């Protein structure tokens, strides 16, 4: 298996996780005031460096609990950056001390599959919301496609029309190696955005060469760190350990076999810690790996670290070339197209539950799903761990 392959399938696969990445990133720039140049540059560098080091496809994602809560409550950039630094310290300690290996030993396979199932279901649900215009970002913008001139086609929201067409195209091309579905959908989405009135807005600056500022918001205060610890980091940590470490490394072994031997739970923790230190320094958002992101990249064609270099160089180059105007470029892509990417990535991830064998294992996995939908994935992971241990008692049945 080659570490670096550069072809149209790798390019298509590299774009497969934009549905998760872009909406949260854009919202945290617009609502929370994060630095666009620093945010997308840190993403690009993390893609490139992690791909080179691990030698396989490595997903880069926002930390969703932090992102969702920060967006919903319009937190300050300083509070979000404080959470990045604290998460980085936690992950570094857990990784370097080997505590993550102990957590893995006591985590049953059913819990990992439950986390993957729940993450996949959340991706599918989020994708459908984008397609019907009901996501948080769309609701806040009071438009199903905030950057398009048209919002409806007769009685139908334009997002639903574009989404259905993109879904049909994806179904027709999903296993086509000559015409990659991901590439066609993203390029077609950009063309559709331009056709329906989306435009780049160069506000204060044009094309150039822009370097990021170090600590653009200054160093967060003591109150920012205290708030971030209890409101953002502690709710995020169980989800990160369950999805971005245990479920992610497990899925990577399923996809890449021996090629993923370098990707251990310890190294995944340290990798994310370093990424958050970088993001903190540049004014970006908290970053992680994730099973859902890997499923997205893989489903749309990524099979090597070449996909990381492609998307990483793209993000890095655009950030340096456009500076803070980089958000205007991504406004050209309809939200519903991102939704389609999410739906197919999520459905790919849910299929891992098929590897379970016993009724008790299926019960644990579906229990985690139910708790996740009712509360959050962190709660589902914790309860699933407890129930899985209790069900080891042979006198109990489900």
12 assigned to some structural domain = yes
Q: Find, among 87, 69, 81, 84, the residue nearest to 34 by Cα.
A: 81
- pLDDT 10s digits, 21-80: 998 898 899 889 999 999 999 999 999 999 999 999 999 999 988 888 888 788 899 999
Per-residue confidence band for 203, with pLDDT thresholds at 50, 70 and 90: low
pLDDT score of 221? 95
Give mean pLDDT, residues 79-104: 96
HEC string of 181-232 equals HHHHHHHHHHHHHHHCCCCCCCCCCCCCCCCCCCCCCCCCCHHHHHHHHHHH
CB < 8 Å & 24+ apart, contacts of 2-6 = 2/304, 3/55, 3/56, 3/259, 3/304, 3/305, 3/306, 4/304, 4/305, 4/306, 4/309, 5/303, 5/304, 5/306, 6/306, 6/309, 6/310
Q: Count Cα neighbours of 319 within 13 Å in the Cβ-side half-sphere.
A: 22
Q: Find, among 263, 276, 240, the residue nearest to 103 by Cα.
A: 240
Partnered with residue 285 across adjacent β-strands are none
Tell me the pLDDT of the chain averaged across its residues.
92
29 assigned to some structural domain = yes
Q: Find, among 159, 284, 291, the residue nearest to 217 by Cα.
A: 284
166 assigned to some structural domain = yes
177 assigned to some structural domain = yes
pLDDT at 182 over 70: yes
pLDDT score of 329? 87
Q: Are 122 and 343 in contact (CB under 8 A)?
A: no
Q: Count Cα neighbours of 366 within 13 Å in the Cβ-side half-sphere.
A: 9
- State how many domains the chain has: 1
pLDDT score of 79? 96
201 assigned to some structural domain = yes
pLDDT score of 204? 61
Global confidence as pTM: 0.89
What is the domain extent for residue 47?
8-390
pLDDT score of 46? 97
Q: Which residues contact 22 (CB under 8 A, 6 or more apart)?
A: 330, 333, 338
Per-residue confidence band for 202, with pLDDT thresholds at 50, 70 and 90: low
257 assigned to some structural domain = yes
Per-residue confidence band for 145, with pLDDT thresholds at 50, 70 and 90: very high
- pLDDT 10s digits, 2-21: 899 999 999 999 999 998 89
- pLDDT 10s digits, 235-287: 899 889 999 999 999 999 999 999 999 999 999 999 999 999 999 999 999 99
28 assigned to some structural domain = yes
250 assigned to some structural domain = yes
Give mean pLDDT, residues 155-167: 96
Q: Count Cα neighbours of 242 within 13 Å in the Cβ-side half-sphere.
A: 32
């Amino acid at each position: 298996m080659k570490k670096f392959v550069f072809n149209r399938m790798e390019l298509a696969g590299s774009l497969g996780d934009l549905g998760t990445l872009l909406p949260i990133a854009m919202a945290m720039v617009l609502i929370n005031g994060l630095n666009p140049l620093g945010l997308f540059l840190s993403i690009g560098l993390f893609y490139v460096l992690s791909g080179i080091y691990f030698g396989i496809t490595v997903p880069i994602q926002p930390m969703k609990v932090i992102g969702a809560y920060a967006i919903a409550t319009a937190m300050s950039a300083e509070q979000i950056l404080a959470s990045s630094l604290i998460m980085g310290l936690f992950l570094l300690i857990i990784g370097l001390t080997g505590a993550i290996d102990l957590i893995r030993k006591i985590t049953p396979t059913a819990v990992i599959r439950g986390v993957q199932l729940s993450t996949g279901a959340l991706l599918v649900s989020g994708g459908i919301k984008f397609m019907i215009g009901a996501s948080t970002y769309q609701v806040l913008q009071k438009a199903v496609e905030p950057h398009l001139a048209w919002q409806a086609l007769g009685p139908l929201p334009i997002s639903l029309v574009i989404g259905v067409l993109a879904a049909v195209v994806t179904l027709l091309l999903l296993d086509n190696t000559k015409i990659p579905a991901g590439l066609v959908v993203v390029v077609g989405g950009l063309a559709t955005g331009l056709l329906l009135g989306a435009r780049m807005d160069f506000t204060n600056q044009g094309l150039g060469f822009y370097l990021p500022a170090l600590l653009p918001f200054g160093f967060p205060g003591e109150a920012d760190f205290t708030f971030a610890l209890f409101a953002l980091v502690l709710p995020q940590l169980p989800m990160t350990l369950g999805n971005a470490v245990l479920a992610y490394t497990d899925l990577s072994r399923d996809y890449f076999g021996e090629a993923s031997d370098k990707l251990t739970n310890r190294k995944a923790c340290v990798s994310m810690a370093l990424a958050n230190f970088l993001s903190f320094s540049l004014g970006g958002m908290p970053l992680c790996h994730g099973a859902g992101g890997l499923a997205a990249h893989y489903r749309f064609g990524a099979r090597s670290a070449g996909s990381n270099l492609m998307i990483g160089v793209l993000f890095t180059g655009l950030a340096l070339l456009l500076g803070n105007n980089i958000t205007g470029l991504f406004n050209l892509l309809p939200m519903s197209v991102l939704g389609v990417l999410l739906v197919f990535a999520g459905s790919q991830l849910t299929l891992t539950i098929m590897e379970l064998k016993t009724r008790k294992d299926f019960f644990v996995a579906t229990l985690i799903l139910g708790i996740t939908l009712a509360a959050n994935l962190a709660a589902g992971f914790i309860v699933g761990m407890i129930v899985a241990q209790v069900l080891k008692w042979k006198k109990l049945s489900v």
